[in-house]
Homo-oligomer: A and B are copies of this chain.
Amino acid sequence: MAGEPMIELVGFDADDTLWRSQDYFDDAQAQFEAVISRYVDLADAHLHDCMLATERRNISLFGYGVKGMVLSMIETAVAITNERISGGDIHRLVALGKAILQQPVELLPGIRDAVQAVAAQHPLVLITKGDLFHQEAKVCASGLSALFHRIEIVSEKDPSTYARVLAECGVAAAAFVMVGNSLRSDIAPVLALGGYGVHVPYHRTWALEAEADLGEDVSRMRTVTEPVHIAAAIRGFSG
């Protein structure tokens, strides 16, 4: 007989859960379109589909992060302009990436209080995927790192990654809640291991993150629309 769980550890995602991230990528995408529109008619060019196809093809080589995005943008730009894109415009694409890397960290509204409220009840681990260098810089700049017992920057957020982190923390999946904006990366793999999820949707989510099959495990997930409700959602799993 399964009793009510005793939550021993709470994980938080970072990008678009603690701080803004996708907005900057969307801004870069808009500027990318503006550059490309000087070469081709965007109505015919299917730029968004081309870019997504390039990213999908490159993800197993580049992993996640800004640098891989810029390289995929450059590949897409060369292909879609039939190599006509100028050196100056290529340099503009590199500059788009640099601008994201130089963005100050902007915490989402209410998140600092929300994380502090959960930290008062449970030990916390930050689990974020992407570029090690950029993620470390953001964690450092966020001012939140002291609230976390561990910071885990991982290359992919799949069940085996969560299983490794939980093993290193000595916590069973059934005693773990993950909080994040991505169903695919934050919620589905933790539910699959037998853990719990608090989904905090962000108004924009990268297309590759929106794909998830939650199956029947959805009973171990809650969705909250504001960070202020995260702590109560976690308490809800225990009672």
Contacts and interface: CB of A to CB of B under 8 A. Distances in A.
Interface of A: 61-65, 67-68, 70-71, 74-75, 77-79, 81-88, 90-91, 94, 97-98, 101-102, 131-134, 136, 153-155
Q: How many copies does the complex hold?
A: 2
B67 A68 contact: yes
Q: Which of A77, A87, A91, A98 has the most CB of B within 10 A?
A: A87
A135 to B, nearest CB: 9
A101 B67 CA distance: 14
B78 A91 contact: yes
A201 to B, nearest CB: 27
30 contacts: A61-B98, A62-B67, A62-B133, A64-B133, A67-B67, A67-B68, A71-B71, A71-B94, A71-B97, A74-B74, A74-B91, A74-B94, A75-B91, A75-B94, A77-B87, A78-B87, A78-B90, A78-B91, A82-B87, A83-B86, A83-B88, A84-B87, A85-B87, A85-B90, A87-B90, A90-B90, A131-B131, A131-B132, A132-B155, A136-B155
A78 B88 CA distance: 7
Nearest to A88: B83
Contacts of A87: 77-78, 81-85, 90
A154 B65 CA distance: 16
B98 A63 contact: no
Contact of A63 (B62, B64, B132, B155): B132
Given A78-B88, A83-B86, A86-B83, A153 B132 contact: yes
